[in-house]
Amino acid sequence: MNFHIHSTWSDGTYTPEIIVKEAIKRKIDKIAITDHYFTQKTASLPAKYLKMYVEDLKALRVKYGQELDIYIGVEIDFSPRTDIDNLPDFEGVDFLLFEYVQDELWDGYPLWMLLKLRKRYKQPVILAHNDISKNFRDADYVSLARVMESDRIGIELNTNYNYTKLDMPFYRLAEDFFRVVREYNIPVSVGSDMHDDLNELANVEDALTFIQELKLDENFKLFLKEVEPNER
C-alpha cells in the first residue's frame, strides 16, 4: 500500500488511471493519489479544479474498486507559498497531507498554526515527510505526542530518498519519538512520494518494517480506520 502518490493533476508524470493500473499489476492493495494543492512551489491543483480532481478519482474508484482501494488525498505546502487563509473545505477528500510543518529550511509555518487550522477539517491531517529530529529537536516528545493526539494529527513514514540523511529515512532518525507515539492514539501512514518512477509505487517496505520493529501496528490501523471514505 502507498498513501503518497502524485499524478498529472499536479507535478506527477503519470495519469491517475495509469497509476491505478500499475498498482493492480503489482498487486498493491491500497493507494492514495495525493496531488499538490495550489502552491507557488510547483505545478499544482488550482481551487477551480479541485472538484474535477475528486470526481476523477471517484470514477476510478468505481471502475477499479473491486481490484484495489483508491483513496483521495491532497498535499498542502504549509508555508507562505500557499494561501493558507483561503484553503477550501476539501469536500470529498479522504485525508490531508501537510508538508514542511515547522521546517525552517522550507519556510514552513509552525505547528501551532496547524493546530489552529486543523479545527476546520473533519478529515485526518497528517504531517508529510517531516524531519522530526530536526524540526522538533527542542520539543519534549511526550508533550508533542499529547498535542498531536488531542488535535488528531498523524504522521507519515516516507520512504522517498529526498527525505533521508546519510541514507537514513527521517523516521529512522526519530526512533525515540516513535517509541513515544506508539503509546498514543496518533495515526501513522506510509508513502513514497512517487512522482515519475512507477517502481516507487511498491517502495514502502522499509516503512512497513519500521512499523513492526517499533510496534506501531495500532497506530497504522488507526490511520486506515480514520481515512476510510464514508461511501465504502
Task: Render pLDDT for 164-204 as a digit per residue (tens, 0 to 9).
Answer: 999 999 999 999 999 999 999 999 999 999 999 999 999 99
Q: Supply the pLDDT for residue 232.
A: 45
Domain boundaries, the chain: 2-227
Q: Supply the pLDDT for residue 228.
A: 86
pLDDT at 161 over 90: yes
Segment 5-14 shows an average pLDDT of 98
For residue 212, what pLDDT band results from cuts at 50, 70 and 90?
very high
Q: Supply the pLDDT for residue 88.
A: 96
Residues 62-70: contacts with CB within 8 Å, 24+ apart? 64/20, 64/21, 64/24, 67/24, 68/20, 68/23, 68/24, 68/28, 68/29, 68/30, 68/31, 69/29, 69/30, 69/31, 69/232, 70/20, 70/30, 70/31, 70/32, 70/33
Task: Render pLDDT for 54-86 as a digit per residue (tens, 0 to 9).
Answer: 999 999 999 999 999 999 999 999 999 999 999
pLDDT at 44 over 80: yes
Task: Render pLDDT for 15-26 as a digit per residue (tens, 0 to 9).
Answer: 999 999 999 999
pTM for this entry = 0.96
Neighbours of 152 (CB within 10 A): 17
Phi, psi of 128 (to 5 degrees): -85, 135
Overall CATH class of domain 2-227: alpha beta
